[in-house]
A = this chain, B = another copy of it.
Amino acid sequence: MKKYKVYIADDHTLFRKAMVNLLRSFDRVVEVKDAENGKELLTLIKYEEPDVAIVDLQMPIMDGAETCEQIIRRNPNVKIIILTMTMHDSAKYILHMMELGVHAFLLKNTEPDELEKAIYAVVEKDFYHNDLVAAVLRKNVTEKRSGQRPMFRQAELTEREKEILALICRELTIREIGQRLSLSENTVRNHRVNIMEKVGVNNTVGLVKFAYEAGIVN
């Protein structure tokens, strides 16, 4: 019986440490390491490849999406399991990452048993298919048909854009953001417009909602 190495990245220390304990209790897990953000996880992986990496979708430093892209590009043998808060909010991300080649998606309110099953499935069968994934796929199909807001709009914001979006969500005006970042108001306004285009909204409300769904605010 083969045993697996599992690494986990999650910014909530309590959750992460508890998960480490849980993972260690699984029969076929031999080694568990943890990182508090995507960057740290990538460093870990540089030294030694795990069989499975468990990644929290919402992380502040390097978010789940970016982390997964890096892993897939640099360590394509590592199987990735995404942890996500709610299926609804992160549907567009899930779709994107399915395209990238992520191997499993689990809600954070999954039973431990299912996590264990998922770990074994991704290494042995390369994918773990569950209700969550099925739902996202179905939703994608139905919403595409009815011509709604583009389900997955690339929405990969640059660092500057994320920074500005975060400040918008702290209720700063364009002027205030300009002052804080020592930028022209025009520049900030342009970034704002670019963000809106990237995420596919056309007003402040949409921006804030996106920020929530993308985990840029909590």
A interface residues (Cβ-Cβ under 8 A, vs B): 11-15, 17-19, 21-22, 25, 36, 83, 85-86, 88-89, 106-112, 115, 168-171, 173, 201-209, 212, 217-218
Instruction: Tell which of B19, B111, B169 touches A205, judged by Cβ atoms closer than 8 Å.
Output: B169
* In the bound complex, CA of A109 to CA of B170 (Å): 21
Contacts of A208 in B (CB 8 A): 204-205, 208-209
Q: State A11–B110 Cα separation when bound (angstroms).
A: 10
**In angstroms, how far is the closest chain B Cβ from the Cβ of A165?**
11
Most buried by B among A15, A36, A206: A15
Which residues of B are found within 8 Å of A109, using beta-carbon distances?
A: 11-15, 36
Q: How far is the CA of A88 from the CA of B11 in the complex (A)?
A: 16
Contact indicator B110/A218 (Cβ below 8 Å): no
A202–B218 CA distance with the chains assembled, in angstroms? 19
Our pick among B21, B110, B169 for the contact of A14 (Cβ within 8 Å) is B110
Residues on B with C-beta less than 8 A from A18 are: 15, 18-19, 21-22, 112
A196–B218 Cα gap in the complex (Å)? 20
What is the distance, in angstroms, from A201's C-beta to the closest C-beta of chain B?
7
A46–chain B nearest beta-carbon distance, Å:
24
Which 3 interchain pairs have the tightest Cβ spacing?
A18-B18, A208-B208, A13-B109
Q: Which chain B residues lie closer than 8 Å to A173 at the CB level?
A: 203
Could you tell me the distance in whole angstroms from the C-beta of A208 to the nearest C-beta in chain B? 4
A78 to chain B, nearest CB (A): 21
Pick the contact of A209 from B17, B21, B217 — CB < 8 Å? B217
CB of A176, distance to nearest CB on chain B (Å): 11
Tell me, in angstroms, the Cα distance from A17 to B25 when the chains sit together.
12
Closest to A15 in B: B15
Q: Which residues of chain B have C-beta atoms less than 8 A from A169's C-beta?
A: 205, 209
Question: Is B111 in contact with A218, judged by CB distance below 8 angstroms?
Answer: no
15 A-B pairs in the complex with CB atoms less than 8 angstroms apart: A12-B85, A12-B109, A13-B109, A14-B19, A14-B111, A14-B115, A15-B18, A15-B108, A18-B21, A21-B22, A171-B205, A173-B203, A204-B204, A205-B208, A212-B212
